[in-house]
A and B are shown apart, each in its own frame.
Chain A
Amino acid sequence: QKEVEQDPGPLSVPEGAIVSLNCTYSNSAFQYFMWYRQYSRKGPELLMYTYSSGNKEDGRFTAQVDKSSKYISLFIRDSQPSDSATYLCAMSLSGTYKYIFGTGTRLKVLA
């Protein structure tokens, strides 16, 4: 079993929809959680960074961490065609330099 599981998609939604992207993980000791957006043939771009449980909002993006269920989510409101990309979740243990990445979910927002 992988430490971090992420549905590869693709996930296709119409423009303006609310998108929900998710990751599950097996190591309950993870404390730091990140979401990255990666456009084709580009490097990952940091979207959200959260510590421990709870919600964090930044513009159209909301990150949620549910440590009891070992489940993290990224919500995108009012999705745009420019949001079409692969979304990677990542997490790490306290005091380490090793970030564990999910394999990414491909999102397509249709105009």
Chain B
Amino acid sequence: NAGVTQTPKFQVLKTGQSMTLQCAQDMNHNSMYWYRQDPGMGLRLIYYSASEGTTDKGEVPNGYNVSRLNKREFSLRLESAAPSQTSVYFCASSTQENTEAFFGQGTRLTVV
């Protein structure tokens, strides 16, 4: 029972490089989320997808794009990485709004 799976687990990028973080869930959830976690800041919502085919901005969307590829998969893209995007990124999913969200194990990203 995998739950929410994120790849890669670790990544180092140079400033200006691009990359895509992948997320897949096997719980048949409708809603998916991308958060970043920084010391002293807690978890902050980057983007979310209420259901397949829809995406919306969260609290800190600048510098990111997302794609809800299908019901299972939700990817986060950094087009031109900046050191301020050094963080731990978590994907989560839930059945719908206001229900329990389940998290992946995270991607630790360093931008140098």
Is B40 part of the contact surface with A, judged by Cβ < 8 Å?
A: yes
A43 and B98 contact, CB distance less than 8 A: no
Of A11-19, A57-65, A72-80, A91-99, the one contacting chain B is: A91-99
Q: With A97-B33, A97-B48 given, is the CB distance from A44 to B98 under 8 Å? A: no
Kindly identify which residue among B33, B56, B105 contacts A42, using a CB–CB cutoff of 8 Å: B105
Q: A41 CA to B33 CA in the complex, in Å?
A: 19
Residues B81-112 near A (CB distance < 8 A): 90, 97-106, 108
Smallest beta-carbon distance B33→chain A, Å: 7
Closest to A8 in B: B40
B105 and A99 contact, CB distance less than 8 A: no
Smallest beta-carbon distance A103→chain B, Å: 4
Kindly identify which residue among A46, A49, A98, A103 contacts B45, using a CB–CB cutoff of 8 Å: A98
Is A107 part of the contact surface with B, judged by Cβ < 8 Å?
A: no
Closest to B9 in A: A41
Q: With A44-B90, A45-B103, A97-B56 given, is the CB distance from A32 to B41 under 8 Å? A: no
Smallest beta-carbon distance B103→chain A, Å: 4
Question: How many residues does chain A have at the interface if contact means C-beta atoms less than 8 Å apart?
Answer: 26
Is B53 part of the contact surface with A, judged by Cβ < 8 Å?
A: no
Q: With A32-B98, A88-B42 given, is the CB distance from A97 to B103 under 8 Å? A: no
Is A21 part of the contact surface with B, judged by Cβ < 8 Å?
A: no
Measured between beta carbons, the chain B residues less than 8 angstroms from A41 are: 106, 108
Q: A97 CA to B68 CA in the complex, in Å?
A: 16
A104 and B106 contact, CB distance less than 8 A: no
Is B50 part of the contact surface with A, judged by Cβ < 8 Å?
A: yes
Given A92-B98, A95-B97, A98-B59, output 4 extra A-B contacts at Cβ < 8 Å. A46-B100, A98-B45, A99-B101, A103-B40
